[in-house]
Amino acid sequence: MTTKIASLTAGEALMRMDLANLPAIMFHKAADGGLNMIYRRDDTSCRLGGPAKSFVNEIAPKNAFGVGSLMEIVDLLTPDSIVPSLKATCKKQALQELSQRGADATGIDDRRIFEVLRERERLGTTGVGRGVAIPHGKLSELSDLRGVFARLEEPIDFEAIDDEPVDLMFLLLAPEDVGADHLKALARVSRLLRDRAMCDKLRGSESRDALYALLTDTTSSKAA
Give catalytic status of residue 136 as yes or no.
yes
Nearest Cα to Cα of residue 73 among 208, 153, 186: 186
Alpha helices (H) along the chain: 10-20, 54-58, 91-106, 110-123, 180-193, 196-203, 208-216, 218-223
Helix axes 208-216, 196-203, angle to 10 degrees: 170
**What helix, strand, coil percent values describe the chain, rounded to 5?**
40, 25, 35
Active-site residue, selected from the candidate residues 120, 136, 151, 194? 136
Nearest-angstrom CA–CA distance, 144 and 129: 27
Q: What positions carry a catalytic annotation?
A: 136
